[in-house]
């Protein structure tokens, strides 16, 4: 898969999951329908994670070839004061 195809799959899966979450709140769904929708959401989530991992692999391959700069994201040191 090429990077634009992966990006398209990611966008499509994200939109579908957002719509599924809205649909899950519909009171007219039966318990069976909700269970089936949750199962489909789990499958879509797994596919989304695979696409994201593939995207990261492609980006790291580009970084290794010197096409893009490497940025490391660290957990910020935050404190909440009351």
Is 16 inside any structural domain? no
Tell me, yes or no, whether 2 lies in a domain: no
Find the angle CA(26)-CA(44)-CA(46) to the nearest 5 degrees.
135
The reported pLDDT for the residue numbered 69 is 54
Q: What is the pLDDT of residues 2-60, one digit of tens each?
A: 888 999 999 999 999 999 999 999 999 999 999 999 999 999 999 999 999 999 988 88
Residue 24 lies in a domain: no
Residue with tokens 């790291």: 60
Distance CA 21, CA 18 (A): 5
Domain that includes residue 44, residue range: 30-63
pLDDT at residue 80 greater than cutoff 60: yes
pLDDT at 82: 64
| Domain membership flag for residue 43 | yes
For the chain, how many structural domains are there in total?
1
In a domain, 22, yes or no: no
Give Cβ neighbours of residue 37 (< 8 Å, ≥ 6 apart): 20, 23, 24, 29
């Amino acid at each position: 898969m090429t990077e634009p195809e992966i990006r398209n799959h990611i966008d499509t899966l994200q939109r579908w999951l957002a719509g599924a979450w809205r649909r899950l709140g519909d009171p007219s769904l039966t318990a069976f329908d909700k269970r089936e929708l949750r199962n489909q959401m789990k499958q879509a989530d797994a596919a989304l994670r695979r696409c994201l991992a593939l995207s990261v692999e492609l980006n790291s391959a580009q970084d290794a070839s010197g096409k893009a700069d490497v940025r490391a994201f660290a957990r910020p040191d935050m404190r909440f004061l009351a």
